[in-house]
Structure 1
Amino acid sequence: MTSFTEVKRISECFVKPLRDLSPEAKQPFYFTPFELPCLNINYSQKGLLFSKPPPSENQDFSITDYLDDLRHSLSTTLDHFYPLAGRLATRKEENPPSYVIYLDPGNTSGVKFIHATADATVSDILQPGDVPLVVRSFFDLNNAISHDAHTLPLLSIQVTELVDGIFIGGSVNHMVADGTSFWHFMGAWSEIFKSKEQYCGTISRPPVFKRWVLDGFDPIINLPFTHHDQFIERFEPPQFRERFFHFSAAAVSKLKKKANAECNSNKISSLQAVIALLWRSVTRVRRLPQDLETSCRLMMSNRRRVNPPMSDDYFGNPIHVVRGTTTVGELMGNGIGRAALRLHEAVVNYNDAVVKESVESWIKGPFIFKPGQVIDQNFLHVGSSPRFDMYGCEFGLGKAVAARSGWSNKADGKITMYPGREGGGSMDVEICFGSSEHMMDLECDEEFINALWTE
């Protein structure tokens, strides 16, 4: 594939729910203390790469018919996920002067739907080495932050037709949906797409929109601002390279066994073992001073962390960051077991009491994350999850050949986790580095490369 491959937009439109909203569904959708701090966060971008179906004896694949089916099934899916068709709104309060930012489902401007083309093949996208830059153009709203949804769509879908494939990419407002909610939506859309005439008005997992509220506190949160310039910050990350690495189910199992043996325990999970390896390997190639503190930051869903737990189908962005922290010397002077134990302890110590204490503290002193203030060279930031059912979303094309992400919310040290296509506990890992030297060193790192092999 040539480096100058262009993505051409052929058409775009807005898709609204098939049916009119009920008066109850038009009520304001208020954000929680988990979500409001994310006003400056870029949209989340994830998508799936499919091979086009082979020509049949009777009829060739029609992109026109396929796009019509996608739009119609998307409209039907929005009957269930109607907030995604709305927009953000701000209400200014006088006493005391403050902002209330909420989602207005009644403003059903719709989900943006784009048809684009690219002169590239599936094998071009999956070529060894760095993820091709053209993949970033498979997504819309590359520079948008959550607050922009006052005027921009909360969700934009771009369907890019390749020479022999289809890429379906979604850019979703990160205040409205985390990875759990996004793939819940994508799964429902695929389910409705495949059902066609058999669709009976229901889906297997209806989303839960009732907001989580801390006992004793008002569900409507007043932010201590009088103008959005007081909290908005746009952050342009430096250039970075991104590359995928595959861990087979056998490789993951071997790492988990090794980590638990080093800890003399059985409590280290597969994911913790893999991330511990990544933490050590990335830190090694960065050549950081031994006495420097390093942390590995994990995005955690609060759905099962609170008591009583939220539903797994809770629709929103109830996430938080937990950190495993140590010094570079300690991390490198011990095996993956010690690193995995640090991560395990960070996870198990993040419980109902900690969540609620953090929420109460934020309510009493609200703040908005400013991404430029949290970027440094000493940490890994791990997002997404190999537990998301990405490959269950088939959209009539069979199992996707790969999952990919866009440009947003990435920088040096960002790691994105995916399930392996073959399932069984396998994982794909996308690693971002700002330095070409670091990427080359990682591919020569003995511990890292040996872990990819199971023999």
Structure 2
Amino acid sequence: MVSQSVHVASRCTVFPDQKSALGELKLSVSDLPMLSCHYIQKGCLFTRPVVPVSEVVSVLKRGLSLTLSRFPPLAGRLVTDSDGYVYVSCDDGGVDFVHADGCYFWVRDLLGSVDGDLPEAVKGFFAFDGMVSYQGHFRPIMAVQVTELADGVFIGCSVNHAVVDGTSFWNFFNTFAEMSRGVRRISRAPDFSRDSVLVSPAVLKLPAGGPKVTFSVDSPVREKIFRFSSESILKLKAKVNNQKWEIEDGVDAAEVMGKFSNDAHKFSDEKKTPLPWLRTAVSNQPNSAEISSFQSLSALLWRGITRARKLSPSKKTTFRMAVNFRHRLKPNLDPLYFGNAIQSIPTYASAGEVLSHDLRWCAEQLNKAVAAHGNATVRKLVEEWERDPRCFPLGNFDGAMITMGSSPRFPMYDNDFGWGRPVAVRSGRANKFDGKISAFPGREAGGSVDLEVVLAPETMAGLELDPEFMQYVSGYY
């Protein structure tokens, strides 16, 4: 349902420009648990193109049609056979395409509000609001909404979470941009193979009418994007790793990040911005394991939210991180394997432990959990699910959970539909609850990170006043 603040100018179905030869793709052990999740809702905000929006809409429809031929499952439907197995039928059923009028909104209106909270208007820029992925049996697997603004355009996609994860989503979105821009040979072709341990004989038994989301969609929350510059991230990582930084000149943050990080970020020369504060790291603990910048940031968030929640010291807290296991499973999945290839890694500690130990201790707990998540652990979790097939329990069930999703490694700004890179990345209402965090790359690249934080109002107020957390925050969106 489109928000009342946005007027639907037109709606149609876009079909692939070529018939699919892919047939059916069986949902995997990693896909099936997502049937109870909302559709993924992500999109990009752009300044206004120089051509009329009517022409832009036509170009996007054509680009989408071409892209669907390269991603046939997105134009299909879910089907369940007589044995209970769920498939994506690549039957060229098409996707919803909505052109919406939001001309009373300006780009600046979507970048933030006076208090830094994300504007509610953004939620109206996505179709299929509140739709659960199981509904892909009866509705399109994807919808694209193009919202015309006073001085810009927002392109929002709602995609079935049982069909794609973040890696697959952004590969589609960036290919969509390529096709719309006139590129006809895609640079990152998806891999549709289904020959791994993920394809299982286990059957997920679902209630009549399908599963429901496992969290309350009506609980009040505040939503804010905290910005962390590359300099701030490096300072935090140095703090966690007990490193000393000496000021020099002539080297930039991205170069330092690439040298001393084990995050495997890749920085091209055109993305590097020289900074006057160049620092060279010298560790006081040369034999200790280096904590990554993202684990350092997660530890900072874990402590800040735990403190803001004012939990009893004995209360067990949980920090969950969604991890891509394409490269962890042996043999490896293709980096562009299409589907879900993610597992949730929980790290547990009492509130007292989180707050009485230092930042490095918290980061070490996260580091150990991620380091241990190799091929054996991936396969073990697959076997555990096969013994007890179930949907993924998404939510904050005991008031002490944090769930980290998305990734600052996703190429969210590496798309150009023909009139420049995005100004910002935004998400809809989908899968949001107290404690849900999504990590985005910062627009300025170089290792900067934006954290989309969703918290109960009183917890957000406490986090905003937390000196340890806020000293690293570079600003709001």
Root-mean-square deviation over aligned CA pairs: 2.0
Residue pairs, 1:48-447, within 5 angstroms: 48-53=44-49, 60-93=50-83, 99-106=84-91, 108-118=92-102, 119-128=104-113, 129-194=116-181, 196=182, 199-200=183-184, 202-214=185-197, 219-224=200-205, 228-229=208-209, 231-232=211-212, 235-237=215-217, 238-261=219-242, 264=285, 265-371=288-394, 375-435=397-457, 437-447=458-468
Letter in 1 for 2:18: R
Letter in 1 for 2:48: K
Map of 2:276 onto structure 1? none
Change (3 A) 1:18 1:312: same
Q: CA deviation at 1:156?
A: 0.8
Q: CA deviation at 1:322?
A: 0.2
TM score, norm. by length of structure 1: 0.90
Q: CA deviation at 1:415?
A: 0.8
- Mind listing any 5+ residue stretches in structure 2 that lack a counterpart? 244-283
Letter in 1 for 2:321: L
Contact kept? 1:28, 1:104, Cα under 8 Å: yes
Secondary structure, counterpart of 1:320 in structure 2: strand
Q: CA deviation at 1:369?
A: 3.0
Q: CA deviation at 1:424?
A: 0.1
Deviations 1:237-286 (A, max 9, x none): 21211011110000001111111118933521111011110111111111
Distance in 1, matches of 2:450 and 2:41, equals: 17
Change (3 A) 1:294 1:319: same
Secondary structure, counterpart of 2:444 in structure 1: coil
Contact kept? 1:30, 1:220, Cα under 8 Å: no
Contact kept? 1:5, 1:134, Cα under 8 Å: no
**2:26 aligns with one of 30, 36, 39:** 30
Deviations 1:140-161 (A, max 9, x none): 1111111100111111111111
Q: CA deviation at 1:232?
A: 4.7
Letter in 2 for 1:46: K
* Structure 1 residue 44 corresponds to structure 2 residue 56: no
Deviations 1:294-348 (A, max 9, x none): 1110011121110111111001011110012111111111221111111111101
Change (3 A) 1:33 1:313: same
Q: CA deviation at 1:233?
A: 5.4
Change (3 A) 1:370 1:291: closer
Distance in 1, matches of 2:226 and 2:393, equals: 30
Give the aligned length.
427
Map of 1:56 onto structure 2? none
Secondary structure, counterpart of 2:127 in structure 1: coil
Q: CA deviation at 1:235?
A: 4.6
Letter in 1 for 2:55: D
Contact kept? 2:13, 2:95, Cα under 8 Å: yes
Q: CA deviation at 1:397?
A: 2.2
Distance in 1, matches of 2:406 and 2:474, equals: 24
Change (3 A) 1:145 1:86: same
Distance in 1, matches of 2:145 and 2:210, equals: 33
Contact kept? 1:139, 1:170, Cα under 8 Å: yes
Letter in 1 for 2:471: N
Distance in 1, matches of 2:212 and 2:421, equals: 40
Deviations 1:192-238 (A, max 9, x none): 222x2xx44x3111100001432xx974543346x535755565421
Map of 2:11 onto structure 1? 12
Letter in 1 for 2:106: T
Q: Single out whichever of 204-213 and 70-79 deviates more from structure 2.
A: 204-213
Change (3 A) 1:297 1:233: closer
Distance in 2, matches of 1:410 and 1:447, equals: 25
Letter in 2 for 1:206: A
Distance in 2, matches of 1:186 and 1:249, equals: 25
Distance in 1, matches of 2:130 and 2:352, equals: 38
Letter in 2 for 1:34: S
Change (3 A) 1:61 1:5: farther
Secondary structure, counterpart of 2:196 in structure 1: coil
Letter in 2 for 1:413: G
Contact kept? 2:132, 2:212, Cα under 8 Å: no
Change (3 A) 1:291 1:173: same
Secondary structure, counterpart of 1:84 in structure 2: helix
Map of 1:448 onto structure 2? 469
Secondary structure, counterpart of 2:204 in structure 1: coil
Deviations 1:340-382 (A, max 9, x none): 111111101111111111112222332223446x533101111
TM score, norm. by length of structure 2: 0.86
Identity %: 38
Letter in 2 for 1:49: L
Distance in 1, matches of 2:237 and 2:210, equals: 46
Distance in 2, matches of 1:234 and 1:283, equals: 22
Change (3 A) 1:143 1:442: same
Secondary structure, counterpart of 2:241 in structure 1: helix
Contact kept? 1:17, 1:85, Cα under 8 Å: yes
Give the 4+ runs in structure 1 shifted more than 6 A: none
